A and B are shown apart, each in its own frame.
Chain A
Amino acid sequence: GQQLNQSPQSMFIQEGEDVSMNCTSSSIFNTWLWYKQDPGEGPVLLIALYKAGELTSNGRLTAQFGITRKDSFLNISASIPSDVGIYFCAGPLGGFRDDKIIFGKGTRLHILP
């Protein structure tokens, strides 16, 4: 079945550093979604990408939809303590708004004191 391979699995960085994580798939996706999950809470949508090659920003976050439709990356600039959490990439399995989505295994971001 379709899978999303997310890397790295975890990151340990200093406050102020930039962060980059990516997601790849053997299948084509028409939408890429990036979520953040804080401990004990549900995922929150950060950025949604709808077109191949699209580059979208949300504050310090920037994400790109790969031109092959099989990958996406998320960058965080000038990390701050509240960026700590788990970042998931996700992609809908169909082209309709009610289609189910699959998730990558997540990238756990830690900020060293």
Chain B
Amino acid sequence: GAVVSQHPSWVICKSGTSVKIECRSLDFQATTMFWYRQFPKQSLMLMATSNEGSKATYEQGVEKDKFLINHASLTLSTLTVTSAHPEDSSFYICSAPGFGSYNEQFFGPGTRLTVL
């Protein structure tokens, strides 16, 4: 299957700072990537769809000015959590559709964000 990486795997930051998370497709190109957030013992909640060369599409209730998404190339999407607060602490996971014709998605290993 397709390989998706994320960096960093975990990050701890102070309240009010911004944090950038990278998502890369390692052996394929992805014009679309997806960003999810997962709170403890809950399912994955889609935050936004990242589109290469155009603006991201955000799900209802997700603040686009707080969660900045940039899909600068066919293998890289970044999520920046701006002015992070403790309630933003969560597990952030990205995914990308595989290179076949079917609509499976392949997930990165996730980034654990802790805001103090």
Q: Which of chain B's residues have a CB closer than 8 A to the CB of A97? A: 97-98, 100-103
A101 beta carbon closer than 8 Å to chain B? yes
Q: Is the CB of B49 within 8 A of A42?
A: no
Q: Which among A43, A50, A104 is the interface contact of B107 at CB below 8 angstroms?
A: A43
Q: Which of chain A's residues have a CB closer than 8 A to the CB of B107? A: 35, 42-45
By size class, the interface of chain A is 20 to 34
Complex Cα distance, B22 from A67, in Å, reads: 40
Complex Cα distance, B104 from A42, in Å, reads: 14
Q: Is the CB of A42 within 8 A of B110?
A: yes
Total interface residues in chain B, CB < 8 Å: 28
Q: Between A and B, how many residue pairs show CB distances below 8 Å?
A: 61
Measured CB to CB, the nearest residue on chain A to B107 is A42
B114 beta carbon closer than 8 Å to chain A? no
CB-defined A-B contacts under 8 Å, sample of 18: A31-B103, A42-B6, A42-B93, A43-B44, A45-B1, A45-B106, A88-B44, A92-B103, A97-B97, A97-B101, A98-B97, A98-B103, A99-B103, A100-B46, A101-B103, A103-B44, A104-B43, A105-B43
Query: What are the 7 closest A-B residue pairs judged by CB atoms, nearest first?
Result: A42-B107, A98-B32, A92-B103, A97-B103, A97-B97, A42-B110, A105-B43
Q: Report B's interface with A, CB cutoff 8 A.
A: 1, 4, 6, 31-32, 34, 42-44, 46, 49, 91, 93, 95, 97-98, 100-110, 112
Q: Report A's interface with B, CB cutoff 8 A.
A: 31, 33, 35, 40-45, 48, 50, 88, 90, 92, 94-106
